[in-house]
């Protein structure tokens, strides 16, 4: 939640900087560092930046960035400030806009600090819960996703089978059946939404690192005709089963080729690039959404009034 709030704050901040000049985003970066946020929190007005001068601005940047930014960045920012003043002249209320930018910058700084402290807490708790680092051995699973999966899943050994784990996640297909027909639809989504989110994000990275998962993703996209999201939900379900199996055995996740041979990370990526690359044309075709056209006589609900004459079949009087 904090990450999403910070992302939203960055988006608003970038939009405000675009009003000043697109060059500000280019100079400070769209994913702004702490130094950039501190600068905007104190000196968002181009007049203030120019008033600082090259020497004081260089010292400010050098001190807060620990030497990463210096005189070159100061000269770039001074040029951007001068360009902004030349672009707008007196048509823009710089103090009011600078205050709006400063508010968003302070919010971003506060959220960044909270996230940093939260990451430290997550690392400590994950070390206690997973001392063997089994979760972080899974491709695509870092400390944050590992803590999210393990925290939402609970004790993986409490499930009687891997099928039970998959059903708990809500990623298994929903079965719609009657006395005569039956078919599988989308996932049930009956489990924890945060668990599904973490598994989905991990699956996006794991399919690029694990040849077996990459082969399954390739088959679902190419042969079965699934679109990306549907195929990735299948991969997330398989990945969850592998995670729980590793946890029960107390073993780290091992990358293997489709023939069962253990491979390194570099070998796995080479295998995936050689065998399981999906063309851009196929991805575009799978992304296409085909909607069924309707005419004037069509209606959404069976109870809606018909717009045309009745189409019931005529019956012969006295017929059984």
Tokens 């090259």 correspond to what residue?
A: 54
Can you tell me the distance from the alpha carbon of 235 to that of 169, in angstroms, rounded to the nearest whole number?
13
Distances (CA, A) of 57 to 13, 16, 17, 52: 21, 22, 19, 6
What is the rounded average pLDDT of the residues 8-34?
90
Res 290 pLDDT > 90: no
Residue 315 scores a pLDDT above 60: no
Report yes or no: 102 and 44 within 8 Å, Cβ to Cβ: yes
The half-sphere exposure of 205 on its side-chain side, counting CA atoms within 13 A, is 13
State the pLDDT confidence band at 187, using cuts at 50, 70 and 90: confident
Any bridge partners for residue 187, and if so which? 173
pLDDT digits (tens, 9 = 90+) for 234-267: 999 999 999 999 999 999 999 999 999 999 999 9
Distance CA 35, CA 25 (A): 14
Q: Which two structure tokens, joined as six digits, stand for 65?
A: 């960035």
Percent of the chain with pLDDT over 90: 64
Half-sphere exposure of 78 (CA within 13 A, CB side): 16
Contact 307, 297 (CB under 8 A): yes
Distant-in-sequence, close-in-space partners of 290: CB < 8 Å, separation ≥ 6:
none
Rounded Cα–Cα distance for residues 222 and 107 (Å): 45
List the chain domain ranges.
2-124, 135-175+184-287
């Amino acid at each position: 939640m904090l990450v999403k709030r910070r992302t939203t704050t960055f988006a608003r901040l970038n939009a405000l900087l675009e009003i000043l000049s697109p060059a500000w985003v280019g100079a400070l970066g769209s994913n702004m560092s702490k130094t950039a946020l501190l600068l905007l929190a104190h000196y968002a007005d181009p007049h203030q930046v120019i008033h600082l001068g090259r020497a004081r601005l260089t010292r400010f940047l050098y001190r807060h960035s620990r030497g990463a930014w210096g005189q070159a960045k100061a000269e770039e920012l001074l040029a951007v400030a001068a360009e902004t003043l030349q672009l707008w002249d007196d048509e823009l209320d710089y103090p009011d806009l600078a205050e709006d930018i400063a508010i968003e910058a302070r919010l971003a700084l506060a959220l960044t600090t909270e996230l940093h402290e939260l990451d430290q807490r997550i690392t400590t708790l994950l070390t206690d819960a997973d001392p063997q680092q089994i979760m972080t051995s899974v491709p695509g699973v870092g400390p944050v996703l590992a803590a999210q999966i393990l925290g939402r899943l609970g004790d993986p050994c409490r499930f009687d089978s891997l099928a039970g784990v998959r059903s708990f996640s809500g990623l298994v297909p929903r079965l719609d059946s009657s006395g005569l027909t039956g078919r599988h639809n989308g996932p049930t989504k009956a489990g924890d939404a945060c668990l599904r989110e973490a598994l989905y994000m991990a699956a996006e990275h794991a399919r690029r690192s694990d040849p077996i998962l990459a082969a399954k993703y390739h088959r679902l996209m190419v042969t079965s005709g699934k679109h990306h999201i549907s195929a990735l939900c299948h991969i997330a379900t398989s990945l969850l089963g592998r995670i729980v199996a590793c946890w029960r055995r107390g073993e780290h996740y091992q990358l293997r080729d489709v023939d069962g041979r253990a491979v390194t990370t570099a070998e796995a990526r080479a295998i995936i690039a050689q065998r399981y690359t999906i063309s851009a044309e196929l991805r575009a075709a799978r992304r296409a959404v085909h909607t069924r056209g309707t005419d004037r006589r069509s209606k959404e609900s069976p109870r809606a009034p018909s717009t045309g004459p009745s189409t019931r079949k005529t019956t012969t009087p006295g017929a059984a």
